[in-house]
Amino acid sequence: MAIARARTAVGFSGVPEARWRADVKNLFTEAETGLAINYDPALRKAFRAAGPEIAPLWPLFDALAGLPLALIHGAGSDILSQATAGEMRARRPDMRYVRLEGRGHVPWLDEPEALAVIRAWLGDMR
């Protein structure tokens, strides 16, 4: 299963097999009928129901003004483009940011650079 996950995960590269095994262990559980996902399948349904046109989200992003904010951007993301991440940074130059090479959408958040941003962001909330 880990090998299949590695082949189908978009935007990830240079990931050791042991990390893929841990990923599969976190995402799936064994059920009587085989493997079952370990997260809410309705997440996918909500995005599909929205169709190809999603309402502009910039007003929601801008509403975060004054709050501590961090972006951990998987460079290989097929959802969050570099242009959009750049616009986010332009709108919020105070936002904590890291671009993770070799990671897609969503990074695992255990990468040292991601952990550094998370720790700094948590410190911003004190």
Contacts of residue 99, Cβ cutoff 8 Å, sequence gap at least 6: 73, 75, 82, 85
Query: What is this structure's pTM?
Result: 0.84
Structure tokens at 50: 């929205």
Residues 93 and 126 both lie in one domain: yes
How many helices (H) does the chain have, and how many strands (E)?
6, 4
Give me the pLDDT at residue 44, please. 76
Q: pLDDT tens-digit profile of 5-50?
A: 999 999 999 999 999 999 999 999 988 998 899 888 888 787 778 7
Residues 46 and 63 both lie in one domain: no
Residues 106 and 60 both lie in one domain: yes
Q: pLDDT tens-digit profile of 93-115?
A: 999 999 999 999 989 999 999 99
The secondary structure element, H or E, covering residue 106 is none
| CA–CA distance, 69 with 97 (Å, rounded to integer) | 9
Residues 92 and 79 both lie in one domain: yes
Q: pLDDT tens-digit profile of 46-104?
A: 777 877 777 789 999 999 999 999 999 999 999 999 999 999 999 999 999 999 999 99
- Please state the domain count of the chain: 2
Residues 79 and 91 both lie in one domain: yes
Compute CA distances 7 → 15, 61, 69, 100, whole Å.
11, 33, 32, 19
Q: Which domain holds residue 47?
A: 1-52
At 75, which amino acid appears? A
Residues 84 and 117 both lie in one domain: yes
Residues 27 and 64 both lie in one domain: no
Residues 108 and 119 both lie in one domain: yes
Residues 48 and 81 both lie in one domain: no
Residues 48 and 59 both lie in one domain: no
The secondary structure element, H or E, covering residue 107 is none
Structure tokens at 15: 């990931």
